Amino acid sequence: MALLELRDVHTFYGNIHALKGVSLSVEQGEIVTLIGSNGAGKSTTLKTISGLLRPRMGEIWFDGQRIDGLRPDQVVARKITQAPEGRRVFPRMTVLENLEMGAFQRRDKDLNADYERVFSLFPRLRERRTQAGGTLSGGEQQMLAIARALMARPTLLLLDEPSMGLAPILVEQIFDIVKGINAQGTTVLLVEQNALMALGLASRGYILQTGEIVLTDVSARLADNPEVKKAYLGG
């Protein structure tokens, strides 16, 4: 049974039908990517999983339990966390406080091992730990957003466009780190516009177009598909 499964999910913004029956599944231990152009509904899918948006129809199952209709904090309690689009770090809190917020629901108060883990993944954050989130560079903020999402020790990590606005070398670095996080046992659902890199990292992919899944396959075959090449891989 899949770790995460969306069954025919419909989400609306007011009267705008943003997700028109999205079905997808993520197996334990996988990296799965969701590819699509601007406005295809990629972020909407993640927001619906996280409980920021309520689906009007359809079901979301995680680890054998239905989670659609739960509040965002209840979804986090199920060990699903998200590094949202645009990073959304708390600008007037320090790096350490941001990380502490990521661990908000942790009842065991010993966060030192977790700090060590994220600082070894992102050494830059250790140097910046007393600095306010708003004063970090874009790349550092992205690192903080991912590190913060790891502090809850998630089973499933949702990443929304971690490459956005970053220099290519930094993107590669971040993708390497995501690979490492996955190797340590966290399942990853990655939303990307940078299809080439995302398919290089993920084992499987879904192509989302105007709120519908139009294609799904293992990454290698998606990358070879002429339609996909034309639309998302620049020829």
Site stretch for another protein (CB under 8 A), options 30-38, 74-82, 163-171, 216-224: 74-82
- Are 8 and 45 contacting, i.e. CB atoms less than 8 angstroms apart? no
Task: Kindly state whether residue 92 participates in binding another protein, applying the rule CB under 8 A.
Answer: yes
| CA 171/CA 169 separation, integer angstroms | 5
Which of 27, 97, 172, 217: binder of another protein (CB under 8 A)?
97
Q: Is residue 169 classed exposed, middle or buried when 0-12, 13-18 and 19+ CB atoms within 10 A define those classes?
A: exposed
Using DSSP's 3-state secondary structure scheme, residue 51 falls into coil
Task: Kindly state whether residue 44 participates in binding another protein, applying the rule CB under 8 A.
Answer: no
- Are 42 and 34 contacting, i.e. CB atoms less than 8 angstroms apart? yes
Task: Kindly state whether residue 104 participates in binding another protein, applying the rule CB under 8 A.
Answer: yes
Task: Kindly state whether residue 90 participates in binding another protein, applying the rule CB under 8 A.
Answer: yes
x/- site string to another protein, residues 128 to 147, per CB under 8 A?
Answer: --------------------
Question: Which string of DSSP letters, residue by residue, matches 88-116?
Answer: ---TTSBHHHHHHHHTTT--S---HHHHH
Site for another protein in 146-165 (CB under 8 A): 148-149, 152
Site for another protein in 201-230 (CB under 8 A): none
Q: Which amino acid is at 228?
A: V
Site stretch for another protein (CB under 8 A), options 56-64, 95-103, 208-216, 222-230: 95-103
Provide, rounded to whole angstroms, the least separation between the CB of residue 117 and another protein.
18
Task: Kindly state whether residue 111 participates in binding another protein, applying the rule CB under 8 A.
Answer: no
Q: Which residues contact 11 (CB under 8 A, 6 or more apart)?
A: 18, 19, 41, 44, 45, 47, 48, 53, 54, 55, 56
Provide, rounded to whole angstroms, the least separation between the CB of residue 105 and another protein.
4
